[in-house]
Amino acid sequence: MCGIVGYCGEKNAAGILVEGLKRLEYRGYDSSGISVGFNNKLTVIKKKGKISNLQAAVPKDLPGTYGIGHTRWATHGEVNDLNAHPHSDSSGKISIVHNGIIENYIALRKKLTAEGVEFITETDSEVIPHLISKFYDGDLEKAVKECLKHLKGTYGIVAVHADEPCRMVGARNGSPLVLGIGEGEMFLASDVTAMMAYTKQVVYMEDGDVVVVDKTSFRTTDIRDNERDKQISTVGWDIGEMEKDGFPTFMEKEIFEQPQSILRGMKGRLDIDQGTAKLGGLNMTNRELRMVNRVIILAAGTSSYAAMTCAYLLEKIARIPANAELSSEIRYKNPIVDPGTLYFVVSQSGETADTLYAMRELQRKGAKVLGICNVVGSTIPRESDGGVYIHSGPEIAVASTKAFTSQLTAMYLFSLIMARMRDMSMIDGKKIVEAMAKLPDDIETVLKLNSHIKDIADKYADCHSFFFLGRGLTYPIALEGALKLKEISYIHAEGYTAGELKHGPIALINEVTPSVFLVPDDSLREKIISNMKEVKARKGPIIAVAVEGDKEVEDIADDVIFVPKVHEVMYPFVMVVPLQMYAYHTAVKLGRNVDQPRNLAKSVTGARMPASA
């Protein structure tokens, strides 16, 4: 996913564009660029690398009160100045920025080349300004709409023309685009974070929207000029939440914000008297919920491990069949939709392409799909049949931490509701409610282990491979721990259920390959300890995350991180946080950029699903 920002108003555009791009850098940071209009001319400046490179290249006195900017996560063409956005037509009068993938760009490029157009980049996006130029007759909106008729794929596009000052035309199909409404100024961006310093009044564009913006007004139509009514929303975040607030990195800040983000996710939703929870956004009656005979949860990346944890929990406490599925797989298969099955899709951004298209495919087949998201007004909440906002606040670091535990919180609340509707007694329900209410304090206790975890991370930072092992509810947490380590430290790490150790992975155990065991105080504890002894017998170093006072684990492991004793189903929360901290400190020790790991971006788009799929 790349980042887009556009501005028109009375202020200096270049400074606003660069600052907006800095706030979007988590969406892509291979290269960046801006195009600023002044006196019927567009000045384009593009630089490979971080946005600081672009900032250094932009003159402080660059004139112009409108323009567009882009930070790139490369898909087509190598990372260099030339392939960076914005892209322009041959005349230099038109500039565009584009998120997404143009699937038919090769055919379009051949056709335009035959017509005499000279291409200078390797990107799919460059066909867009040339097509707009081909259709331009003095009306940028009209030319953009004609261009869109020839594009196949996903896009979020913003275009400007040197002869139409302080005017932007944006379009969306499968890639997010948001309008920001200020005082005498307007913004277009791929994310509200780009404009939060200037306005909280936003309009979320939907697929098929074309929006025309000047500094005081906007108009939204579809590609055929039909008017589309839009609702203005107010962003609930504050600009201060997107600052580091004294922390060296956003990732560390977000790890330490988890007590507060979990508390926000539970606020007003726990029913202590009845030992259950309340989630009004599900848009389902108790009768409808009781009719559900299966739950399937779709997600990608970190969210998929939260989904897997919830599937385990639903079967454990609600006694309802549940599965977690990768949305990238569901998207391209022909899923069987059972009318008794309730589907959830989980996405921090609400824009994850694989998850969004999987949801649409299920809905086409008649499924009821609920969303679990963080970003209010994003596509999945708008298009789903109901759902839950996790309220974790903005998450800037690419590697998700607080959104993961907030997703767990939302799904635990749903699982509790389902359990109390079935076989769980009020007494047992109250025990879970009390345990959830205590979670913020338990996480605070874990965060006090920061220095100890750093020491362990420093000790093993030079190792080249790791195993993460858990069982039951902690198996998905092992997978998440391995993912965190590999994505920000670039160390090879594998997550396994400990019971599978002897079925192959144990062949890789040696004196320099540490195994991280999760050892909660539950019915599987003895099984995990047995697996630890198997590794110990083969001289494998062991790091254990165990419960305070577990002397047996302490005697076996080389290093132990002790977490507080909690209700047996709450161990995923208190055990994932040490793994986040471990990955963080390892990456810092190795000199990695923990907020912006290589090759990754925060919200990943993909090619559009074919109409026949």
Give the tens place of pLDDT for each residue, 204-240. Answer: 999 999 999 999 999 999 999 999 999 898 887 777 6
**With pLDDT > 70 as the criterion, what percentage of the chain qualifies?**
96
Residue 2 appears among annotated catalytic residues = yes
Q: And the tokens for 304? A: 């998929």
CA distance 555 to 191: 50
Model confidence at 610: pLDDT above 50: no
At 110 the pLDDT is 96
pLDDT at 26 (0 to 100): 67
Handedness of CA 73, 79, 81, 86 (dihedral sign): negative
- Of the listed ranges 77-81, 148-152, 290-294, 588-592, the least confidently predicted one is 77-81
- Given the residues 2, 147, 310, 373, select the one marked as catalytic: 2
Picking from 613, 605, 611, 612, the residue whose alpha carbon sits closest to that of residue 125 is 605
Three-class SS string for 269-302? CEECCCCEECCHHHCCCHHHHHCCCEEEEEECCH
**For residue 606, what pLDDT band results from cuts at 50, 70 and 90?**
very low
Predicted pLDDT at 604: 44
pLDDT score recorded for residue 67: 96
Higher confidence at residue 354 or residue 439?
A: 439
Q: Is the pLDDT of residue 164 over 80?
A: yes
Evaluate whether 189 touches 170 at the Cβ level (below 8 Å): no
48 is an active site residue: no
Residues in CB range of 311: below 8 A, 6 or more apart: 295, 297, 322, 323, 324
- What is the model's pLDDT at position 203? 94
Which run of H or of E encompasses 62?
A: none
Residue 366, sorted as left (phi over 0), alpha (psi -120 to 50) or beta, turns out to be: left
> Could you give the CA distance from residue 273 to residue 46 in angstroms, rounded to a whole number?
60
What pLDDT band is residue 603 in, cutting at 50, 70 and 90?
low
For the record, the structure tokens of 148 come out as 């869109």
Strands 542-547, 559-563: parallel, antiparallel or unpaired by DSSP?
A: parallel
pLDDT at 342 over 50: yes
pTM: 0.84
Q: Which one, of 107, 56, 430, lies nearest residue 270 by Cα?
A: 430
Six-digit token string for 210 = 């074309």
pLDDT for 31 beyond 80: yes
- Residue 306 CA to residue 265 CA, distance in Å, equals 15
User: Which residue ranges form the domains of the chain, and what is each CATH number?
Assistant: 3-235 (3.60.20.10), 247-444 (3.40.50.10490), 448-604 (3.40.50.10490)
pLDDT given for residue 76 in this prediction? 64
